[in-house]
Structure 1
Amino acid sequence: MNIDIIISADDIKEDKIKNKSVLVIDMLRATSVIITAINNGCKEVIPVLNIDEALDIVSSNRSKYILGGERNTVKIKGFDFSNSPFEYKTNVVKNKILVMTTTNGTKAIKNSITAKNILIGAMINAKAVASKLVGLNNDIVIVNAGTNGQFSIDDFICAGYIIENIMSITDSIITSDIATTAKYIYDNNKNIISFIKYAKHYKVIKNLKLDKDLEYCCQKDIVSIVPEYENGSIINKK
């Protein structure tokens, strides 16, 4: 089983992901939100690339949908919620469909559609993701959403933690140089917040006083589900 990493949504190439199991990570904050919403009873999440597409989907029956997302970390005008996991509580999302568009995360998901499987991961479900990937018994590509097409420290260390968890389950693993580096970074920086404070996106979130979001998204293994993208939407396949 081979493990590789793609460093941003803009760097995804079909020949790198075709017939492989892809894990999309945007821990600050899109994939953390998706995992949280589904864990709290959301029926499905429909990721889209642009605002007009999101508005068009919900116009058919507004009562069954929630509009969520951001542009450059800020809530989109006219949307119900931004990209904070704390907004997607059970009483809000239960039995609803979340239509979501974000700057980086939803782009990474949509750009990965030629993969064999697309799983949604973050720090908060890392162990569950690792177990699921090992069970699929397929070559793995971890897609870091990145930040505006650039490498992101937060997604990279999250990938390293997930690789460590995979390697704790099986030793039948061959890591690429970049995957080996991600694991090394995590092994030497296990306090996540103390390391990702150097990330550009971390500083943006701090400036917006979203400290609780940072603390939540940096927690390890507080959720046991692994959402999957399939046929245009993300669900919890049991």
Structure 2
Amino acid sequence: MVKVDIIISANDIVESKIKDKVVVVIDMFRATSVIVTALSNGCEEVIPYLTIEETLEAADKICRDNYLLGGERNAVKIDGFDLSNSPLEYTEDIVKNKKVLFTTTNGTRTLARSKYAGRILIGAMINAKAVAKKLIELNQDAVIINAGTNGNFSMDDYICSGYIINEMLVYGEKLELTDIAKTANIIYEGNLEIMSYVKQATHYSVMKALNLDNDISYCTKKSIIDIVPEYKDNKITILI
């Protein structure tokens, strides 16, 4: 029986909990939504970096015609970068056949801390069904890691985890859910409309204050993209 667990923030990642397991990293507001969207729109690969400095150093070594710089700090676009952390900016005409060098406050930090996992998949509300299906196909113990916000629990990432678990259960598979995974599923089933729950989240308030209503609307759409990205060999591409 496949066991499913949840880790509630990047700060709570422990090697023993994820070692050799399949991990799904979620930062739905907005890093993983960006990654899923960019790759769906023809981006060749997303290369995550922990710091702005590392991102710029890597950019200096690549032909400028082949890449874009994307990301944020504290939800705001980084000076000198091409794109922010809004998935709506990563359109096909912008990202097709390009590489995106990417750094964010919470998402890329979570990816870096997940390095001990056997596999690292990228999840969001917008590709949750595809992620659930892939986890069932892989038939291995899975840990869903919520990026959280500055090391703290995020309601938005948690309900997204619940959605993925709920979709796994739809396939009729018997899962061994930890208490925190069971609770995520219960919360999702009690808030199928999503927005009434998510709007109570701290990061939702931050995004509203920055007038990112369109991003909020997009990132809370359910399963509008049917791909599963995988982080492997220091880059993220579509898992075939």
TM-score (norm 1): 0.99
Give the partner amino acid of 2:4: I
The 1-side partners of 2:64 and 2:55 are apart by 11
1:44 aligned residue: 45
Give the partner amino acid of 2:3: N
The 2-side partners of 1:59 and 1:111 are apart by 25
> SS of the counterpart of 2:122?
strand
> SS of the counterpart of 1:235?
strand
| Count of residue correspondences | 238
* Equivalent residue in structure 1 for 2:216, among 214, 217, 232: 214
Q: Which runs of 4+ in 1 moved over 3 A?
A: none
Q: Where in structure 2 are the equivalents of 1:1-238 lying within 5 Å? A: 1-60=2-61, 61-238=63-240
> SS of the counterpart of 1:23?
strand
Query: How far has the Cα of 1:170 moved from its partner?
Result: 3.5
Aligned-residue Cα RMSD (Å) equals 0.7
The 1-side partners of 2:166 and 2:51 are apart by 35
- 1:95-149 deviations in whole A, cap 9, x for unaligned? 1000100000111111111111100000000000000011111000000000000
- 1:44-98 deviations in whole A, cap 9, x for unaligned? 0001100011001111222211100000000011111110011101111011000
The 1-side partners of 2:11 and 2:74 are apart by 16
The 2-side partners of 1:47 and 1:193 are apart by 29
Identity %: 57
The 2-side partners of 1:67 and 1:171 are apart by 41
The 1-side partners of 2:27 and 2:3 are apart by 21
- 1:149-190 deviations in whole A, cap 9, x for unaligned? 000000000000000001111332000000000000000011
The 1-side partners of 2:237 and 2:213 are apart by 28
Unaligned runs of 5+ in 2: none
Give the partner amino acid of 1:57: A
> SS of the counterpart of 1:225?
coil
The 1-side partners of 2:239 and 2:161 are apart by 22
Give the partner amino acid of 2:142: I
Query: How far has the Cα of 1:237 moved from its partner?
Result: 2.3
Whether the aligned pair in 2 keeps the contact of 1:134 and 1:170 (CA below 8 Å) is: no
The 1-side partners of 2:199 and 2:149 are apart by 15
Whether the aligned pair in 2 keeps the contact of 1:26 and 1:104 (CA below 8 Å) is: yes
The 2-side partners of 1:136 and 1:113 are apart by 19
